[in-house]
Structure 1
Amino acid sequence: MLSRTIARLHKDYVTYRNDGVPFPLESVIAWYVLLALQEQRTIRGNIMEMGVEHGGTAFLGTVALREDEHIDLIDLKKSPRFAKVAERLPTALASRVHFHECSTRAPELAEIAKQLFRFVHIDAGHSKQDVLDDIGRFAGCVAPDGILCLDDVFEIRWPGVTEAIFEAIPSTGLVPFLLVNRKLYLAHKDMAGVYRDMLVAALPEIEVFGNMRHWTEEMLGGVTLIWKQALRTTDLNLLLPSTA
């Protein structure tokens, strides 16, 4: 069951990063659900994130790794908070967390930019040019059955992010299939519908975490599922035991 996989991912996550979830609960559940659906469909591959900061989403991706997968993390520096959590990882898992302390424009990332990943998270610089550069360099890293997650879409503090996304995405071959709390999820056109349909089919099971309002909107060439979650509690730990 999907909820069992979500419960397992969350249990592993809080084992290492036990200072709370990294962003609003509906967004955390979206990550868990998408990673669980990839596992359910046996979608394999490495994960990449740029803009790591304290490692909230980085560790969400880390606990979803299979034994033959790794995660590439890109940030200008490794924060003390991230380093502290990373110390808790088992040696075998820690060896598959590859941290690159550099700009997303750095020449040393040239080989990584040629690879394909099942999940790519762009959350680095938030100026229009930063986002244009990151999409231009890394959107091509999304595997045919992979996902691209873009952060802070429609965020009033970062208008350049939205401008860059609407300018750059049409030429990538990726289309949105999910929008949850300022995070936009995209996939190649043939897979975007698959992910959206899987999410809709999973809604009855996901609603164990709270009532989920949802509808679709046309956006950037894709039919995009919008989630608005009315949660019974803000503590995911209180919800998961009943699904384990």
Structure 2
Amino acid sequence: MATTQETIRPPRRLDDVPGWFPVLDQMLFDWFLDRQEGSGVGGDLLEVGVYMGKSAIFTGRHRRPGETYTVCDLFEGDAPDAANRAESTKSYARLTRQLFEENYLAFHDELPRVLQGPSSLVHDEVAPDSCRFVHIDASHLYEHVHDDIGTARDLLLPDGIVVLDDFRSEHTPGVSIATWEAVLNRGLSPLCISTQKLYGTWGDPRPVQEELIAMARGRDDCHLSVQEAAGHRIVRLKSKGMRGPDFPESRYASTAGEPEAPEAVAPAAAGTGTAGNGRERRGRVRRVAVDLLPPVLTRALRRAMH
């Protein structure tokens, strides 16, 4: 099996991980999770649909002692139906569990609890009323999103927060219909919307929204608008040159400043054939080490060869 580029060059920063997680949503994830933690709200974390792990890596930093963080994805497994299989083949053909786990472990000492399979697994694998934060970014098909939202409602604590991705993308009408159906008919209250995500709760939205509006008004990098629709207050946020929250670099970041091995070795001078061949061999080994070995082994090999 060919080695993927992501495996050869592990991420040094969160931005190196492929995926869609804008800085505005990074700020909002931090704000909602920090607010829960500052208010003494405990509970488990859940992400349904992880792709290469970008948002999962970010969320994992908020798991506290005694809490469980569960992620679920098909990865390279079989989809439950033909429509889901076609969607996975088209958009997520490169995704493997190994690649997700390698990316995650670049930033964390241990993996979350990983469920490999369709999102329908989650309902029976995660305890009811156990989660404080659920991020749904899995199938874009209406039937699956409808069920995922129902699962989130069953698993969330009374004031827990659900985040629904791609609720207004032109290529995901099924997500839009399922999301607004939940708002209009299934008791979900919107807390705010970003460019692609809706943040909601089945609890009382007013205290959270008041704090959120005050926070947004205090920032000069966040555009705020508030509208009323169908009896709901809709808080809309948009980035104005916002920078993402500080996030620790990965365990590979220490190699960022190391020089690359030379692409070619000059021919040996006359009378030094043996030494020249040795240098050439060492140059080839160094190039292979930079490309294939973990950074710690690469540095050790370089020291041994000098």
TM-score normalised according to structure 2 size: 0.63
Where 1:54 maps in the other structure, the secondary structure is: coil
Q: 1:67 — aligned with what? A: 65
Report the alpha carbon displacement of residue 178 of structure 1 after superposing the two structures with TM. 0.5
In structure 2, relative to structure 1, the CA distance for the partners of 1:19 and 1:85 (3 Å cut) is same
Distance 2:14 2:135 in 1: 19
Aligned to 1:202: 215
Match of 1:86 in 2: 104
The match for 1:104 is 119
Mapping 1:1-244, distance limit 5 Å: 17=14, 19=16, 22-77=20-75, 78-91=96-109, 94=110, 97-106=112-121, 109-112=123-126, 114-190=128-204, 192-203=205-216, 207=219, 210-219=220-229, 221-231=231-241
Number of matched pairs: 216
Q: Gaps spanning 5+ residues in structure 2: where?
A: 1-10, 76-95, 248-306
| Local SS of the residue matching 2:221 | strand
Quote the RMSD (CA, aligned, Å): 2.6
1:15 CA displacement? 7.6
Q: 1 CA distance for matches of 2:231 and 2:100?
A: 37
Give the stretch that moved more between structures: 124-133 or 216-225.
Answer: 216-225
Residues 34 and 153 of structure 1, relative CA distance in 2, 3 Å threshold: same
CA distance in 1, matches of 2:45, 2:246: 25
**Cα 1:113/1:127, change in 2 over 3 Å:** farther
Matched residue SS, 2:120 = coil
Whole-angstrom CA distance in 2 between matches of 1:15 and 1:65: 21
Question: Aligned partners of 2:181 and 2:117: how far apart in 1?
Answer: 26
Structure 1 residues 158, 90: CA separation in 2 closer, same or farther (over 3 Å shift)? closer
Change (3 A) 1:124 1:219: farther
The structure whose Rg is larger is 2
Moved over 6 A (4+): none
Give the partner amino acid of 1:46. D
